[in-house]
């Protein structure tokens, strides 16, 4: 019988501790053996009885129980994944500095498996340089630290610091567990310490207050890329245009509408990025004039002529003028015919390192859960990606980006 993957769910003392119950449920129901290790403070929010009953395992906060089993060492050693949700500012500080004054902090020091922290706290605590430095330390060491969401906090206040949706944290855990399976043989996420930028969706170029020129891009491929990078340990900025998809956990999302807004957001985000993947469908043209009132039907039965002007070519611009030496730039080419020939020509023209070429049509790729593509590289390599989930293409793209990343110091 194959044994269940062992997950340690660390819960520290934040108001969002109750949300960890749902994460626990999702983990156990999907076949994981979960040992909950709360802190003393966490038990002020949710009691040990709840954790024990939901996990089917004993619960302890300190190292002095069942000492003959040496739990302060064994629990961490046996784990396939440790996820701390919520992770308080205090817990991040302890983990970054190697303190070991309770069972959870001991477990974090003895675990050699991937570790995911999902911080939750008030915006001031999150933005404090002490917390930011602790997060940077943990990421540098290979932990996946999920970016908190923006939204309602403990009281009436809102801001960055909210625990992401448990379903999203669960997806990250699943992803990290799959990625770091014994077959792959690595415990440190391979994009840890990297900042990557992904654009997703399709821009809309307004004609008047009610109409726009748009495209069929759903944004699903860009979201798959962002999720995959977050699960592989990267800090991810996702610049999204008009997708309507909820923000993925662990990702900084910038919402834009038009090509010019997308350009501005991407140029800002790439300033310190190791890699940029431009998966968004950016309009090549926009109406030359924006009518401030709704364009009316003409009395003579005629139709208005819409004059278009070119939008800037963002992919060519960031490829030609790299914000950092060695920054890796990846483009997407949606082609309807002569797919590969057009792709090779586009790769030359744009000057990017990799170009993901796929065939699109009304019922192909756009909005679908699946994709099929060839990834062309500037050194002439071609990697076909067979028809499959967009997540699989996303992993291949990061696999190809990885060896091209500049060395870190």
Residues with active-site annotation: 215
What mask of x and - would describe binding to ligand FMN in positions 84 to 123, judged by CB under 6 A?
Answer: ----xxxx----------------------------xx--
Q: Which is nearer to ligand FMN, 104 or 315 (CB)?
A: 104
Report d(CA 369, CA 377) in Å as an integer. Answer: 25
What mask of x and - would describe binding to ligand FMN in positions 361 to 390, judged by CB under 6 A?
Answer: ------------------------------
What are the DSSP calls for 222-261, one per residue? Answer: HHHHHHHHHHTT-EEEEEEES--PPPPTTEEEEEE-SHHH
Report d(CA 346, CA 214) in Å as an integer. Answer: 22
Alpha carbon distance, N-terminus to C-terminus of the chain:
44
Q: Least separation, in Å, of the C-beta of 32 and ligand FMN?
A: 23
Q: Least separation, in Å, of the C-beta of 14 and ligand FMN?
A: 3
What mask of x and - would describe binding to ligand FMN in positions 261 to 300, judged by CB under 6 A?
Answer: ----------------------------------------
Collapsed DSSP state (helix, strand, coil) of residue 331: strand
Q: Tokens standing for 213?
A: 């020129």
Q: Residues 6 or more apart from 124 whose CB is under 8 A from it?
A: none
Closest alpha carbon to 342 in 362, 361, 359, 327: 359
Q: Tokens standing for 184?
A: 């792959």
Which residue stretch of 10-18, 50-58, 191-199, 383-391 sits at the interface with ligand FMN (rule: CB under 6 A)? 10-18
323 binds ligand FMN (CB under 6 A): no
218 binds ligand FMN (CB under 6 A): no
Determine how many CB atoms are found less than 10 A away from the CB of residue 256. 21
What mask of x and - would describe binding to ligand FMN in positions 125 to 164, judged by CB under 6 A?
Answer: x----------------------------x----------
What mask of x and - would describe binding to ligand FMN in positions 37 to 76, judged by CB under 6 A?
Answer: --x-xx----------------------------------
Q: Least separation, in Å, of the C-beta of 125 and ligand FMN?
A: 6
34 binds ligand FMN (CB under 6 A): no
Q: Least separation, in Å, of the C-beta of 88 and ligand FMN?
A: 3
Q: Least separation, in Å, of the C-beta of 37 and ligand FMN?
A: 11
Report d(CA 172, CA 277) in Å as an integer. Answer: 20
# binding residues, ligand FMN (CB under 6 A)? 16
Q: Which is nearer to ligand FMN, 11 or 192 (CB)?
A: 11
Closest alpha carbon to 356 in 367, 347, 365: 347
Q: Which residues pair with 251 in a beta bridge?
A: 236
Q: Residues 6 or more apart from 393 whose CB is under 8 A from it?
A: 221, 224, 356, 371, 373, 385
Q: Which is nearer to ligand FMN, 43 or 229 (CB)?
A: 43
Element (H, E) at 219: none
Q: Site residues (CB under 6 A) for ligand FMN?
A: 12-16, 39, 41-42, 88-91, 120-121, 125, 154
């Amino acid at each position: 019988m194959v044994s269940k993957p062992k997950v340690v769910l660390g819960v520290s003392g934040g108001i969002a501790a109750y949300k960890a119950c749902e994460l626990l449920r999702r983990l156990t129901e999907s076949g994981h053996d979960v040992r909950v290790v709360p802190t003393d403070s966490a038990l002020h929010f949710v009691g040990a009885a709840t954790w024990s009953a939901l996990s089917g395992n004993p619960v302890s906060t300190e190292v002095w129980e069942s000492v003959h089993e040496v739990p302060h060492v064994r629990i961490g050693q046996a784990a396939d994944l440790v996820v701390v949700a919520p992770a308080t500012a205090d817990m991040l500080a302890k983990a970054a500095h190697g303190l070991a004054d309770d069972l959870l902090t001991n477990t974090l020091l003895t675990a050699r498996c991937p570790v995911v922290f999902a911080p939750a706290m008030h915006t001031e605590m999150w933005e404090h340089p002490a917390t930011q430095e602790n997060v940077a330390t943990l990421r540098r060491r290979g932990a996946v630290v999920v970016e908190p969401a923006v939204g309602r906090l403990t009281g009436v206040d809102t801001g960055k610091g909210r625990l992401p949706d448990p379903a999203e944290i669960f997806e990250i855990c699943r992803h990290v567990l799959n990625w770091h399976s014994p077959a792959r043989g690595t415990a440190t996420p391979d994009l840890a310490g990297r900042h990557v930028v992904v654009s997703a969706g399709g821009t809309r170029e307004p004609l008047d207050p009610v109409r726009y020129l748009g495209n069929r891009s759903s944004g699903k491929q860009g979201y798959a890329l962002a999720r995959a990078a977050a699960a592989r340990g990267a800090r991810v900025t996702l610049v999204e245009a008009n997708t309507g998809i909820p923000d993925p956990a662990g990702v900084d999302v910038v919402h834009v509408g038009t090509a010019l807004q997308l350009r501005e957001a991407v140029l800002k985000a790439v300033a310190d990025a190791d890699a940029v993947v431009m998966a968004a469908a950016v309009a090549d043209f926009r109406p030359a004039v924006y009518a401030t009132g709704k364009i009316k039907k003409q009395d003579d039965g005629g139709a208005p002529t819409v004059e278009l002007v070119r939008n800037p070519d963002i992919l060519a611009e960031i490829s030609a003028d790299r914000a950092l030496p060695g920054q890796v730039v990846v483009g997407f080419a949606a082609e309807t015919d002569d797919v590969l020939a057009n792709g090779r020509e586009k790769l030359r023209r744009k000057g990017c390192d990799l170009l993901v070429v796929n065939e699109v049509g009304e019922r192909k790729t756009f909005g679908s859960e699946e994709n099929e593509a060839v990834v062309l590289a500037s050194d002439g390599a071609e990697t076909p990606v067979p028809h499959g989930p967009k997540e699989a293409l996303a992993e291949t793209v990061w696999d190809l980006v990885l060896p091209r990343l500049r060395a870190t110091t």
